[in-house]
């Protein structure tokens, strides 16, 4: 048997056995899977953890390089195996195929370029790029030499980019002149120039020529990508990495303060992404897999690069957007590449469901074997639409619950192997032990229950720390409920043990699948000269899942329409367009407790139109503002 397929669960019975084995002897369970990978030296100890510190280490003292597992070992067996089928933004442009051996050469060349610039193991490299193959090449080149990559989503603003560069003290930045996005071009390099005014740590900026638009050139630090790799060898010795050496940093929003740079390490992350990829999507050698995410998010890291490549999969990478040139683009791409596994987000599904069905008809989607969903709860209507129109009522749907912090999928059905249940992520992946806690932090024993989701045992893919702030890591994820990892989500569980994620229980709002902390948005709004105070909350939205509403108290007069435009611009510039509040409401006060704390629960209920179930408001300092807000919202 192909060693990679050794750990593929193929039946319900297999699943039950794997789950029991993983609980009875987690170390044996994970070490058997890890043994199928290529190591320079195997580990001395499988697991060591103490969540009161908190510390989690896997495959201790093992030596490896993740790119050997994602590239070299496939090249050795079958150099012509296809790794990436790249589909450009414009369907009239040339699509490009990369075999594993071509990809390895390109990764090595670029890695040699990084070395020439003095980049070495442990240095942080920021990547801010469009969805071109060079993004994957840059990521893997960092991993090849042990540099820690920090990919920043290309839709973030200059301010968001500079915050992330400065937090990780990156030495080098990789970007492009611009990005194609539908019929628009995004001036990436211009945004970079603005960001770099605030970043002193960046010594060099590598610029890929993608859009050929005019850009400002800074002789001191800018280098064209093509000049950077000119004449370099296409082999680069992989750096020997310790299992627990950092592989990358990826930022995610917290409910307060600056974004959290989640740190993932080499071995555990590799084992966990490969194992979950193979099992959840039931990938078979030769299948064509397509995840529509952007590599700037964890889904792109785990299920476009590392997971699929670790098992030698062939993936479609798409530069564009679902609406360009028409709303049938996804189906055209599925048909063109005969996609077998298709993984997307509920927001995309809801948006696509609003388009005429005739855009799907006429496309041969018969190759599809598995459909996936990620990033937010999928509502029944969207699930049904996906099932009927794309899956033709016969394609399993995996609803995958996980987070940037978990590294890989935690709760999901295994396509066609375990039972699915619409709107439920269903059951844990073998090796994952989720529980429901009550408000006192006790485990709820009854099967059918609702509570706070927590994980009671480590798994290899867990992020090890927040870059530069281990105290915050402890506070956010381990202090809330002693002995448990706390993801910040609430969940329901049915009699059969299926989990349905009900949404965040903290001040993070998931808008179109993107995590947004409300506090940083409030901070931006409060910088407006006419604003005294604000509160931002999430409310249910038909397409985006959630949208943001900002309640604003003014300190000087300004016309509401002008204010709305200015506040949305402010947030867009400081955080990014995805964080713009959908609705802005001017109020004279915010409901507060006697100790001055804003009662967000009430604001959320009001925004959701839940006027009747506000609970006891008599303890408020200023109950009269509730009526004022109701009146404004009712208009």
Write out the residues near ligand WTA by the rule CB under 6 A.
252, 297-299, 374-377, 399-404, 425, 487-489, 501, 504, 510, 515
Residue number, 265 or 512, with CB nearest to ligand WTA: 512
Pairing of strands 82-87, 499-504: unpaired
* Cis peptide bond N-terminal to 55, omega within 30: no
Q: Across 222-333, where does the E strand assignment appear?
A: 222-224, 241-242, 246-252, 260-265, 288-291, 314-318
Residue number, 328 or 404, with CB nearest to ligand WTA: 404
Residue number, 287 or 294, with CB nearest to ligand WTA: 294
Note whether 408 and 307 are within 8 A (CB): yes
Q: How many CB atoms lie within 10 A of CB 48?
A: 12
Residues 6+ apart with CB under 8 A from 361: none
Residue number, 504 or 528, with CB nearest to ligand WTA: 504
Distances (CA, A) of 85 to 73, 100, 307, 332, 589: 20, 11, 16, 14, 54
| Alpha-helical runs (H) found in 215-328 | 225-229, 266-280, 298-300, 307-310
In the 8-state DSSP scheme, what is residue 379?
Answer: P
Nearest distance in Å: CB 525, ligand WTA = 23
Residue number, 95 or 423, with CB nearest to ligand WTA: 423
Residue number, 254 or 591, with CB nearest to ligand WTA: 254
End-to-end CA distance of the chain: 66
Pairing of strands 82-87, 96-99: antiparallel
Note whether 233 and 109 are within 8 A (CB): yes
Distance CA 316, CA 600 (A): 42
Nearest distance in Å: CB 27, ligand WTA = 27
Token pair, residue 489, equals: 């989500």
Residue number, 238 or 576, with CB nearest to ligand WTA: 576
174: region left, alpha or beta (phi > 0 left; psi from -120 to 50 alpha): beta
| Alpha-helical runs (H) found in 54-185 | 66-67, 73-77, 100-116, 133-145, 158-168
Residue number, 113 or 520, with CB nearest to ligand WTA: 520
Residue number, 404 or 465, with CB nearest to ligand WTA: 404
Nearest distance in Å: CB 247, ligand WTA = 17
Distance CA 294, CA 80 (A): 26
Nearest distance in Å: CB 202, ligand WTA = 26
Residues paired with residue 455 on neighbouring β-strands, in sequence order? 434, 485
Residue number, 148 or 298, with CB nearest to ligand WTA: 298
Residues 6+ apart with CB under 8 A from 520: 253, 257, 258, 259, 575, 579
């Amino acid at each position: 048997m192909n060693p990679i397929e050794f750990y593929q669960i193929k039946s319900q019975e297999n699943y039950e056995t794997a789950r029991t084995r993983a609980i009875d002897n987690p170390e044996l369970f994970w070490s058997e899977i890890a043994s199928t990978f290529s190591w320079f030296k195997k580990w001395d100890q499988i697991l060591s953890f103490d969540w009161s510190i908190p510390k989690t280490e896997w495959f201790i003292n093992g030596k490896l390089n993740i790119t050997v597992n994602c590239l070299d070992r496939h090249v050795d067996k079958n150099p012509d195996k296809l790794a990436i089928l790249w589909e450009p933004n414009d369907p009239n442009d040339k699509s490009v195929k990369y075999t594993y051996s071509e990809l390895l050469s390109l990764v090595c060349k670029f890695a040699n370029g990084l070395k020439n610039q003095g980049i070495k193991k442990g240095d942080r490299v920021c990547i801010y790029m469009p969805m071109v193959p060079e993004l994957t090449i840059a990521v893997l080149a960092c991993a090849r030499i042990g540099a820690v990559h920090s990919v920043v989503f290309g839709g973030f603003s200059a301010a968001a980019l500079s915050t992330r560069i400065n937090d990780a003290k990156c030495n080098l930045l990789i970007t492009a002149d611009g990005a194609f996005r539908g019929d628009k071009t995004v001036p990436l390099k211009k945004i970079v120039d603005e960001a770099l005014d605030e970043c002193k740590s960046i010594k060099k900026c590598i610029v890929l020529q993608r859009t050929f638009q005019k850009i400002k050139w800074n002789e001191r630090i800018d280098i064209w990508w093509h000049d950077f790799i000119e004449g370099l060898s296409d082999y680069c010795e992989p750096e020997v990495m310790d299992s627990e050496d950092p592989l990358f940093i990826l930022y995610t929003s917290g409910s307060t303060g600056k974004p959290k740079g989640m740190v993932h390490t080499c071995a555990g992350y590799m084992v966990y992404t490969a194992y979950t990829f193979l099992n959840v999507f039931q990938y078979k050698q030769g299948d064509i897999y397509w995840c529509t995410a952007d590599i700037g998010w964890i889904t792109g890291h785990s299920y476009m690069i590392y997971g699929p490549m670790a098992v030698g999969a062939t993936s479609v990478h798409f530069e564009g957007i679902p609406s360009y040139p028409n709303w049938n683009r996804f189906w055209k791409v599925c048909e063109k590449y005969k996609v077998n596994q298709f993984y997307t987000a509920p927001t995309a599904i809801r948006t696509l469901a609003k388009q005429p069905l005739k855009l799907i008809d006429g496309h041969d989607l018969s190759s599809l074997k598995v459909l996936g969903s990620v990033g937010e709860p999928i509502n029944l209507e969207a699930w049904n639409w996906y099932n009927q129109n794309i899956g033709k009522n016969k394609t399993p749907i995996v609803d995958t619950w996980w987070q940037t912090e978990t590294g890989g999928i935690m709760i999901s059905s295994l396509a066609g192997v375990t039972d699915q249940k619409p709107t439920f992520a269903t059951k844990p992946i073998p090796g994952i032990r989720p529980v429901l806690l009550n408000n006192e932090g006790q485990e709820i024993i009854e099967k059918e229950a609702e509570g706070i989701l927590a994980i009671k045992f480590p798994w290899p893919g867990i992020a090890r720390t927040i870059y530069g702030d281990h105290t915050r890591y402890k506070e956010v994820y381990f202090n809330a409920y002693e002995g448990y990892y706390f993801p910040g989500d609430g969940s329901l569980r049915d009699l059969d043990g299926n989990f349905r994620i009900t949404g965040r229980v903290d001040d993070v709002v998931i808008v179109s699948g993107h995590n947004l902390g409300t506090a940083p948005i409030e901070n931006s709004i409060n910088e407006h000269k006419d604003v005294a105070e604000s509160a931002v909350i999430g409310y249910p939205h038909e397409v985006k899942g959630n949208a943001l509403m900002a309640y604003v108290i003014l300190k000087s007069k300004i016309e509401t329409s002008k204010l709305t435009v200015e506040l949305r611009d402010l947030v867009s510039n400081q955080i990014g367009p995805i964080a713009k509040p959908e609705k802005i409401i001017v109020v004279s006060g915010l409901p507060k407790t006697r100790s001055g704390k804003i009662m967000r629960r009430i604001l959320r209920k009001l925004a959701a139109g839940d006027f009747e179930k506000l609970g006891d408001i008599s303890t408020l300092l200023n109950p009269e503002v509730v009526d004022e807000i109701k009146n404004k919202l009712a208009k």
